Amino acid sequence: MGVMENNEFKKDGKRQVTMAAVGRLAGVSQVTVSRALSHPDKVSAQTLLRINDAIKVTGFVPNALAGALASKKSNLISALIPSLTNIVYATFITAFSEKLREHGYQILLSETGFEPEAEEALVATHLSRRPDAILLTGIHHSARARQMLLGAGIPIVEVWDITDSPVDMCVGFDHVEAGRRAAEFLFEQGNTRAATITAKDERAVRRQSAFANRFEYLSKGHVAESNTGGPASIRAGRDALSDLIENHGLTSGAVFCSSDLLAQGALIEAQARGIPVPQGISIMGFGDQDFARDVEPSLTTVAIDRTRLGHVTAEALLARINGTQRPKSVTDIGFEIVRRTSA
């Protein structure tokens, strides 16, 4: 091998290993290094060995963006989800990522929170990286974000919700119908009074509104509401049930929570106050998180097959990227009410 000249630096003085430097160390041209990286079958075994040795010695990392400009493919899929710590989103994004990695794609993942402005900024940032496709959580976006997405010219999938007018395609379930079905279930269990505990999340608010409308129609009574004003947590669930008891006079009936985490908090608060569940107050969650069957009493909830959601979403994007078929614009994976002992 030749000797690498010590003349290529970044502005901060740190060495920047280039393809040309790798070529000098391997005793070949920069063009040969490029060919070895993109088409190793077109380089002799001995030359390829020298180039690979030079890459190991220098720690050179090929410029994926340059390759993407040439091939018009980045092999990156952008994914924007509200929360990285919420197991509901983490489970489906894991299944989504696993399926895409099988086909040579990597995920560029960002957390948006629940504010449209934050999502809009991240949409711009991710699109500037030229991903081959983008995943968004939900169907409600700012006008500017929607404009950028429509102009991107890449496959786009919105998940965790459905609409008749997706940006490109959507995979999810009907939140309004989930709220209605939860109301019917709790009414059929003999509850004539109900309340809701809802986190600050547009989809959760839609479920709450649908639940309240349906239960009030069935029971001819008012449904009290406690909105956490922020994300779901056990503390927020405890505080919300306290609010319903102390400020809304809830002493019996059913409580529909917008997440299992809030429902767990409500369970703890009921137990702390000596209120039996479900004999005194029935509690129902949403999401069927891993702990739902193991708390005491076990949590009645609305289950979404998150692994299936991830796989179906990945398959839809792959079909669009590869042009093998035109996937459906709207895919409804449905939901299931899981009856356990808390309601």
Task: Give residue-wise pLDDT tens across range 142-194.
Answer: 998 999 998 888 999 999 999 999 999 999 999 999 999 999 999 999 999 99
Average the pLDDT over each of 41-45, 69-73, 332-336 and give the range with the smallest value: 69-73
- Identify the pLDDT of residue 185: 98
Nearest 10 degrees: Cα torsion 164, 169, 173, 177: -10
Pair of tokens at residue 95: 């299944």
**Residue in the block written with tokens 């306290």:** 242
**Residue in the block written with tokens 């940032």:** 125
Average the pLDDT over each of 4-13, 34-43, 258-267, 333-342 and give the range with the smallest value: 4-13
- Identify the pLDDT of residue 10: 45
Is there a contact between 239 and 228 (Cβ–Cβ < 8 Å)? Answer: yes
**Rounded distance, CA 329 to CA 308, Å?**
17
Domain ranges of the chain: 1-62, 74-173+307-334, 175-303
Pair of tokens at residue 246: 């102390």
| pLDDT-based confidence at residue 17 (cuts at 50, 70, 90) | confident
Per-residue pLDDT at 247 exceeds 60: yes
Beta strand 76-81 pairing with 106-111:
parallel
Report pTM: 0.78
Pair of tokens at residue 151: 């102009």
Instruction: For the domain covering 74-173+307-334, report its CATH number.
Output: 3.40.50.2300
- Identify the pLDDT of residue 13: 45
Task: Give residue-wise pLDDT tens across range 259-310.
Answer: 999 999 999 999 999 999 999 999 999 999 999 999 999 999 999 999 999 9
Task: Give residue-wise pLDDT tens across range 29-69.
Answer: 988 988 888 788 888 999 999 998 888 887 776 665 555 54
Which CATH architecture fits 1-62? Orthogonal Bundle (1.10)
- Identify the pLDDT of residue 129: 84
| pLDDT-based confidence at residue 6 (cuts at 50, 70, 90) | very low
Please indicate whether residue 29 or residue 325 has the higher confidence score (pLDDT). 29
Q: How far is CA 223 from the centre of its chain?
A: 31
Mean pLDDT of 64-84: 73
Q: Residue ranges of the alpha helices (H) in the chain? A: 19-26, 30-38, 45-58, 64-71, 87-101, 116-128, 143-152, 175-188, 202-219, 234-248, 260-272, 306-322
Mean pLDDT of 114-119: 88
Give the chain's length. 343
Burial class (CB in 10 A: 0-12, 13-18, 19+), 106: middle
- Identify the pLDDT of residue 222: 95
Please indicate whether residue 16 or residue 143 has the higher confidence score (pLDDT). 143
Three-class secondary structure of residue 109 per DSSP:
strand
**Rounded distance, CA 63 to CA 324, Å?**
29
Per-residue pLDDT at 252 exceeds 70: yes
Is it true that 1-62 and 74-173+307-334 share their CATH fold? Answer: no
In which element (H, E) is residue 301 found? strand 301-303
CATH class of 175-303: alpha beta
- Identify the pLDDT of residue 15: 55
Pair of tokens at residue 165: 């007018």
Question: If phi over 0 gives left and psi between -120 and 50 gives alpha, with beta otherwise, what is residue 13?
Answer: left
Is there a contact between 157 and 135 (Cβ–Cβ < 8 Å)? Answer: yes
Task: Give residue-wise pLDDT tens across range 207-233.
Answer: 999 999 999 999 999 999 999 998 899
Average the pLDDT over each of 19-28, 176-185, 244-253 and give the range with the smallest value: 19-28
Q: Which of 223, 305, 293 is nearest to 260 (CA)?
A: 293
